[in-house]
Structure 1
Amino acid sequence: MAPILVDNSKSSTAERETYVDNGFVHIKNPHLDMLSEDILYHFDLGTKTHDLPSMFGDVKFVCVGGSPNRMRSFALFIHNELGLDGDGNNIVDICAGTDRYSMYKVGPVLSISHGMGIPSISIMLHELIKLLHHAKCRDVTLIRIGTSGGIGIEPGTVVITDIAVDAFFRPQFEQIILDKVVVRNTQLHQELAKDLLECSREISSFPTIIGHTMCTYDFYEGQGRLDGALCSFSKEEKFEYLRKAYAAGVRNIEMESSVFAAMCHLCGLKAAVVCVTLLNRLEGDQICHSHGVLTEFQSRPQQLIATYIKKQLGVCT
């Protein structure tokens, strides 16, 4: 059995004080100092080929989500909400040279797709955190905007995550590094979660709550679905598991929050996860709402994040 290492360190006391004092994004890899150039391969960017401080140095908010189309839509939406010049037609995909991710910059806001699942968002986060570091960004807030399956709550409810938990409802992320299992903390920024909930009170058109989010490694069996190509459990076992999850404080399920929380926590980044629920898993496994209803649901986290960003920037509504 591989040894288990608990990696709860965020940084040394001195590093934490430095982060608080100057707000720069710090990384935890001494080997990067030995590189003559850092190539951010999946972004099609690099420290020698691009002037990263000039391109990204003013970024204060990074919003990430699974779908490239959804993140382009968010970029256009936040452009309008911030009242920036132009109609948004000049917003281009900075990562157009690669087919892995899409990235759009709108004033101080960066909108990036991360694909689906832990491996995809993990790769994106490694390069994003390095990008913010190389660009000398300060006081950056990261927010994952997504969709999820709800547990015991109405479809369309927006869940602000306080802690990301695994399939055993533990607030941790396990990763195999070399021949060791490394366990990392998945607590998100609590004050940010409270601030987002406060912003939701200005939007009365949909319910918003704070709760635990369960992160799984797949969409079907790992989430207790009965409608996949494979299923090794009964209907009764499924509902027993979901009821246990609800009792443990879990209010929604998705596939990215644990590694997102763990990496942001280790790098001292202020981060939040805000997902809308597309169904109540205690009532079924398949998403049955019309395209129009789902589109409106998916706009809800965007509305909440836009409200928060505008308040932080002092933009009048």
Structure 2
Amino acid sequence: MAAVTTTEKKTTQVNASKDSYVHISNPHLDNIKEDILYHFDLGTGTHDFPTLFGDVKFVCVGGSASRMKSFSQYIAGELKLGDPSDDIPNICAGTDRYAMYKVGPVLSVSHGMGIPSIAIMLHELIKLLYHAGCTNVTVIRLGTSGGIGLDIGSVVVTSQSVDASFRPQFEQIILGKRVVRCTELDEKLAKELLESSKEINQFNTVIGKTMCTMDFYEGQARLDGAFCFYTEEQKMQYLKEAYDAGIRNIEMESSVFAAMCKLAGLKAAVVCVTLVNRLQGDQITSTHEVLAEFQQRPQKLISHLIKKHLGKSEAS
């Protein structure tokens, strides 16, 4: 089937003349009396979105609920908006799908694992920001990944998300037709994150392409899944071709994240630490303590950037 054009006309948005607002593209929402964000357990008829979320400037998303709670506690300490040991309430406590924590202008949200899970979350997150009237919002995904040709513990800031065929696109079937969307991320934001890493000077950070796959095992050319119908030589050839194409890590959410944030007019970035060098093996062998320290690296990097933007860095 032929691909539908990627240029999709915006039919609905807040203050169309102001690019700083969050865009939505769904005229059908105008006919809905109450917009229920089911997977967040929130709704416009039961919650005052502008009061609850109108001051949000940064949204940080990651796979697990515990990781995003940990990040919210960490950023609370960094912004001096609370003690890192404080128990921050889960705004989405009425559902077990996602978790959401708010610390001042920073929203921390879990998205689960894989493209379908994060896509559902993003639809409701974008509508939440829209209903709240938020402006100049930056959205950053932080997480873990498999590295290609990098020392474990390195942090990759995504320049562009590509699919498993190394194409810079997100493909989805809608009404039986193939729709292809752009996976471009904010170049300026990526460079700011790299500069923040240099200022922290605690771990290696690179900018590179990220391959987003639909699967953790065969889709990422692993040899340790329940099924495998290719040789180790074929795996290595594929990964080396990926490296030559500029790909430095592999995960399972960046393509739809980039595509949806771009449609919504949101500045976006993906920051992932590498837990394994896939050119040397498939399984994670680091100790729990080492992995815990690795997973703090994206938090430190993003926190440093947020403090700079909010004017609360030590240098200010």
- Which TM bucket (shorter chain)? over 0.9
Do structure 1's residue 5 and structure 2's residue 1 form an aligned pair?
Answer: no
Q: Is the 8 A contact 1:19 1:268 kept in 2?
A: no
**TM-score (norm: length of structure 1):** 0.96
CA deviation vs aligned residue, 1:56-91 (integer Å, no higher than 9, x gap): 000000000001000000000000000114555251
Who is 1:205 aligned against?
A: 202
Q: Alpha-carbon deviation of 1:110?
A: 0.2
Do structure 1's residue 227 and structure 2's residue 241 form an aligned pair?
Answer: no
**What SS is found at the alignment partner of 2:142?**
strand
For residues 148 and 315 of structure 1, the distance between their equivalents in structure 2, rounded to whole angstroms, comes to: 30
Q: Alpha-carbon deviation of 1:7?
A: 1.2
Which of residues 95, 116, 119 is equivalent to 1:119? Answer: 116
For residues 16 and 55 of structure 1, the distance between their equivalents in structure 2, rounded to whole angstroms, comes to: 20
For residues 87 and 121 of structure 1, the distance between their equivalents in structure 2, rounded to whole angstroms, comes to: 27
Who is 2:18 aligned against?
A: 19
Do structure 1's residue 177 and structure 2's residue 170 form an aligned pair?
Answer: no
**What SS is found at the alignment partner of 1:276?**
strand
Amino acid at match of 2:2: P
Q: Is the 8 A contact 1:10 1:265 kept in 2?
A: no
Q: Is the 8 A contact 1:10 1:268 kept in 2?
A: no
Amino acid at match of 1:171: P
Give the RMSD, CA atoms, in angstroms: 1.6
**What SS is found at the alignment partner of 1:214?**
strand
Who is 1:138 aligned against?
A: 135
Do structure 1's residue 157 and structure 2's residue 154 form an aligned pair?
Answer: yes
Which of residues 94, 98, 101 is equivalent to 2:95? Answer: 98
What is the 5 A alignment of 1:290-305? 290-305=287-302
For residues 219 and 149 of structure 1, the distance between their equivalents in structure 2, rounded to whole angstroms, comes to: 10
For residues 149 and 89 of structure 1, the distance between their equivalents in structure 2, rounded to whole angstroms, comes to: 32
For residues 255 and 213 of structure 2, the distance between their equivalents in structure 1, rounded to whole angstroms, comes to: 9
Q: Alpha-carbon deviation of 1:204?
A: 1.2
Do structure 1's residue 44 and structure 2's residue 41 form an aligned pair?
Answer: yes
Provide the identity percentage. Answer: 65
Which of residues 166, 187, 190 is equivalent to 1:190? Answer: 187
CA deviation vs aligned residue, 1:195-243 (integer Å, no higher than 9, x gap): 1111111111100000000000010000000000000110000000000
For residues 89 and 281 of structure 1, the distance between their equivalents in structure 2, rounded to whole angstroms, comes to: 38
**TM-score (norm: length of structure 2):** 0.96
Amino acid at match of 1:264: C
Q: Alpha-carbon deviation of 1:8?
A: 3.7
Segments of 5+ residues of structure 1 without an aligned counterpart are none
Amino acid at match of 1:122: A
Distance 1:102 1:253, change over 3 A: same
Segments of 5+ residues of structure 2 without an aligned counterpart are none
For residues 43 and 36 of structure 1, the distance between their equivalents in structure 2, rounded to whole angstroms, comes to: 18
Q: Alpha-carbon deviation of 1:24?
A: 1.3
Report the more deviating stretch, 23-32 or 80-89: 80-89
Q: Is the 8 A contact 1:10 1:267 kept in 2?
A: no
Q: Is the 8 A contact 1:8 1:185 kept in 2?
A: no
Q: Tell me the number of residue pairs that the alignment of Structure 1 and Structure 2 aligns.
A: 313
For residues 165 and 246 of structure 2, the distance between their equivalents in structure 1, rounded to whole angstroms, comes to: 12
